[in-house]
Structure 1
Amino acid sequence: MGDDSTAGIILAGGRGERAKPITLQSADYIRSKALIPFAGKPLIEWIVEACREQGIRRFYVVAQGMENRSQIKLVLGHGERYGVEINYSRSRFDQYNVGSGAATLHNLEQWDLTGPALVMPVDSLFDFSLDRLLATHTATDALVTVAAVTRTPQETAGKYGVMRTTDQGLISGFVEKPRLQLIEHLFPEALTTPDARTIATSAGMYLIDCGRLRLAARNPELIRLAQQRLDWGADLLPWLVGHDLPVAVERIGRLGDLGSIGDYLTTLGEVLTGEYPQMNRAMESPLSVEPRYWIHESSLRTKDNVTGTTLAQKIADGSVVIGPGVRIGRHAEIGAGVHLQYTDIGDGVDVHEGVHLHRAALGDAAVVGAYAQISDSYIGPMAHVHSERRSPVRLDDHSAVGDGAHLWPGTRLSGVSVYPRLRVPAVSGLPAGTQLTSSDDILQWV
């Protein structure tokens, strides 16, 4: 599949502000977005494996700063474990990484790339065909081919930029987050099928002709932009189209954004329910197909410390209910009376009796106390939810608990983020969107 000469360029230098506290290991130590835990692996591993499946064997990682670069290199190395070659941007060029477009252009020169390359961010999950991207790229003689996802007018309005295309499949212009009325004016065909996915929006993935793009980047105007701020979507693509350089569009199967807590949980749920064919091939076969779930054999054998029965026994007698879209990693301890749906549970997690988890993610070695009610929420590695039967903890509406944080019995959070290592007393009634970043923040609500 694909073309052995196609390189992969991974833009991994972003700070992941929207995804905090998932991207934090402590209040002042940012975990690279590339290392966000997702379905049992750091996200960047899934990205490399998906590209390798389609024939990409050479990767170039654009990193930023010591922590970002060292964290990624500790996971990927130089690609030996994955059967690929992985190169990294030089630290002295970090100062030029002012936007995704600028970072790409500067590093194309550093690496002296001339052939085709697939540029992708590290905070999204893609289901795509490299062969189809290459075919469109060649047929249109494009400088850049934009991977696109189609959305309904209602999904698009006010949230996504829209690409206008010619009959030849080339981009003729962009409309930044148009209102629904403007979408209906620009795309009258959408009025006939308003629920159909007909509006093309960028997925943030680009197949580029490295040699020709490097030539275009020598334009003095583009040189000035790349020294100030140059993002792919907002700046570089409009500049290329505005200068009559061929930019094509090719639709891909699916895009999963992981840049915020809500998007992360939505994409995770879609993966666990089988909506990403590439992930279906990359993940091990599920233990059960209907309902669909994965449980590592070590967790099936693990006994809880209250009943002394294994998870396999509790599933068989119905005292643990596993719904669709569940993954349980290694050596997890699951108590009696637990209900799980659309939930990812990491290695070494303790889930005590009576817990209900729905559309949730639990990081490695997290502990969830008895009778906690957790939905649409993220619990980080080593976090401890001290829930009790008489005083349960309740989390919902995209709440997030950072690494190593503790929540005391009776805590109720809705749409609230708790930063790593904080100890939160029994609080409730905090406004959605509250971020508890320090002990001072907590004192305001106690």
Structure 2
Amino acid sequence: MSTKAETIGIVLAGGRGERAKPITLESADYIRSKALIPFVGRRLIEWVLESCRVQGIRRFYVVTHGLENRNQIKLLLGHGERHGVRITYSRSRFDRYNVGSAGATLHNLEQWDLQGRALVLPVDSLFDFDLDALHATHDAQDALVTVAAVARTPAEIAHKYGVMRTDERGLVQGFVEKPGLSELGELFPRTLAEPGTGLPTNAGMYLVDCGRLRLLAREPELFRQSHQRLDWGGDLLPWLVRHGHPVATHTIGRLGDLGNVPDYLDTVRLVLNGAYEQMNRLMDQPDDTARRRWIHESSLQTKDDVTGTTLAQKIDEGSVVIGAGVRIGRDVEIGPGVRLENADVGDGAEVREGSTLVRSTVGESAVIGSYADIADSYIGPMAEVRSERIRPIRLERHTAVGDGAVLWPGSRLCGVTVYPRLRVPALAGVPARTELRSAEDVLRWV
């Protein structure tokens, strides 16, 4: 029987992060790796490594793709010395074989000559999981692959998630791709009859037996697919089940999909409010445990340029209101009359007088002008929201402002994406889901 200490981690980090734009953009034509998404004070891949390291994984293999993707991750992580782990990267000559998540996994298992157990996980999600429990399920079912599953209600699943059909032992018997409520009712009548009961959906993390999987990868049909297009959820798992190989499921605590702006913001909110047990253990203890607030000491002592008082003084006198689920990084300047709730504010940012931030994130060194009203929105690093008291800016409903973008006073944006480094005049009435990618796009709405 394998043990947790012998498990290695395989991190799939080669995706381009198209869905997560503008979070993954440094400029309109330069995309950062999904692994480098800023998340609650660190880069996402750092949280991924740490969550695995504290559960006994010390050796990681990172599947990258292309020059920029590989260099960005390697510059951040090196070979793992700073994180107390050992990291090996996929070779660039194998990039052409990274044809889907499963294809990349199979080719690199062979390249690295791996035989034991591996935890395979993507880098655009946050997992709340217990590796010991995952191993126990894997052992009990003698599984080739154990799929980390998230239990979702039929209402959550309908037309959005695929469902795994399992037998009484928890072994997968088949897959149903994004069913509607009526189809769910026909397939799982008991679940619909019991409100709150969940069905297993694929979380995208897998515990695998490397040696057994490598042998199967030499089967002619699977070998051919692995050189064309082979994803885990859509291709490899159905193939394994069809051919009678044991695929088990194990329900984990939570999955935070960071692949798009709404899910990113929702995951930040849940983490700040303590919904992820593993993140609760990894993050520093809150300064205020009851309300879950983190305020760096340097920010408490930073004076604003209006009153000349520190944040600590303003909190004491009640001129700044900091609600539940708030993290304020280093050297942040907070003006009088500011209200923060369920908000993450990065190092060196400025939130000027009278502004409100609710269920939103502000990147490093970004500036939020006076009397801005921001809800459910993402503000990237170095962005400027040039709000003024007589011409305040309002952002809501998953508006996303990319790195270094500038919004002029008076804008009202609802569900709009602004690409990095754009200078946007006062706009209102722009339809939700509009993407402002260039100056020409901006001019259409002026």
With normalisation by structure 1, the TM-score equals 0.99
Instruction: State the 4+ residue runs in structure 1 displaced beyond 4 angstroms.
Output: none
Letter in structure 1 aligned against 2:5? D
The 1:173–1:124 alpha-carbon spacing in structure 2 relative to 1, beyond 3 Å, is same
2:414 alignment partner in structure 1: 414
2:331 alignment partner in structure 1: 331
Once the two structures are superposed, residues 115-149 of structure 1 have per-residue CA deviations (whole angstroms, 9 ceiling, x without a partner) of 00000010100000100111111111111000001
Letter in structure 2 aligned against 1:47? V
- RMSD of the TM alignment (CA)? 0.9
Once the two structures are superposed, residues 282-323 of structure 1 have per-residue CA deviations (whole angstroms, 9 ceiling, x without a partner) of 100101122221000000000000000000111111100001
User: How is 1:37-436 mapped onto 2 (pairs within 5 angstroms)?
Assistant: 37-194=38-195, 196-436=196-436
Q: CA offset at residue 2 of structure 1?
A: 6.2
Once the two structures are superposed, residues 262-297 of structure 1 have per-residue CA deviations (whole angstroms, 9 ceiling, x without a partner) of 000000000000000110011001011222210000
Letter in structure 2 aligned against 1:303? K
Letter in structure 2 aligned against 1:230? L
Letter in structure 1 aligned against 2:272? L
1:11 alignment partner in structure 2: 12
Q: CA offset at residue 192 of structure 1?
A: 2.5
Once the two structures are superposed, residues 175-202 of structure 1 have per-residue CA deviations (whole angstroms, 9 ceiling, x without a partner) of 00011111111111113322x1421101
Tell whether the 8 Å contact from 1:2 to 1:54 is kept in structure 2 after alignment: no
Tell whether the 8 Å contact from 1:120 to 1:205 is kept in structure 2 after alignment: yes
Structure 2 unmatched runs, 5+: none
User: How is 1:31-42 mapped onto 2 (pairs within 5 angstroms)?
Assistant: 31-42=32-43
The SS at the match of 1:178 is coil
Tell whether the 8 Å contact from 1:411 to 1:427 is kept in structure 2 after alignment: yes
Measure, in 1, the Cα distance between the counterparts of 2:228 and 2:436: 34
Measure, in 2, the Cα distance between the counterparts of 1:34 and 1:277: 21
Once the two structures are superposed, residues 98-122 of structure 1 have per-residue CA deviations (whole angstroms, 9 ceiling, x without a partner) of 1101000010011110100000010
Q: CA offset at residue 239 of structure 1?
A: 0.6
Once the two structures are superposed, residues 45-75 of structure 1 have per-residue CA deviations (whole angstroms, 9 ceiling, x without a partner) of 0000000010000000000101000000111
Letter in structure 2 aligned against 1:130? L
Measure, in 1, the Cα distance between the counterparts of 2:142 and 2:334: 56
Measure, in 1, the Cα distance between the counterparts of 2:441 and 2:26: 18
Tell whether the 8 Å contact from 1:2 to 1:55 is kept in structure 2 after alignment: no
Measure, in 1, the Cα distance between the counterparts of 2:109 and 2:290: 47
The SS at the match of 1:288 is coil
The 1:114–1:148 alpha-carbon spacing in structure 2 relative to 1, beyond 3 Å, is same
Measure, in 2, the Cα distance between the counterparts of 1:135 and 1:443: 59
Tell whether the 8 Å contact from 1:346 to 1:364 is kept in structure 2 after alignment: yes
Tell whether the 8 Å contact from 1:2 to 1:56 is kept in structure 2 after alignment: no
With normalisation by structure 2, the TM-score equals 0.99
Q: CA offset at residue 3 of structure 1?
A: 1.4
Q: CA offset at residue 245 of structure 1?
A: 0.6
Measure, in 2, the Cα distance between the counterparts of 1:17 and 1:233: 19
Measure, in 1, the Cα distance between the counterparts of 2:3 and 2:360: 36
Q: CA offset at residue 419 of structure 1?
A: 0.5
2:54 pairs with 1:30: no
Measure, in 2, the Cα distance between the counterparts of 1:25 and 1:415: 20
